[in-house]
Amino acid sequence: MFLRFAARTRHVDSRVGDGIFGVAYRVRDEGDLESYERAYLLDCLNWFEEHLPAPESRRIPDAAVFWLKHRADEHIARMWELYWLLDHIGEDLFLMTTRRPGHVYYEDDLQVAAEPRYWLARFLN
CB 66 within 8 A of CB 107: no
pTM: 0.85
Backbone angles phi, psi at 10, to 5 degrees: -95, 135
Q: What percent of the chain has pLDDT over 90?
A: 71
More confident residue, 39 or 124: 39
Segment 9-38, tens digit of pLDDT: 766 655 677 899 999 999 999 989 999 999
Spatial distance between the Cα atoms of 2 and 111, rounded to a whole number of angstroms: 8
Q: Which residue ranges make up each domain of the chain?
A: 2-123
pLDDT at 125: 46
Spatial distance between the Cα atoms of 44 and 69, rounded to a whole number of angstroms: 19
91: Cβ contacts below 8 Å, ≥ 6 apart: 7, 23, 27
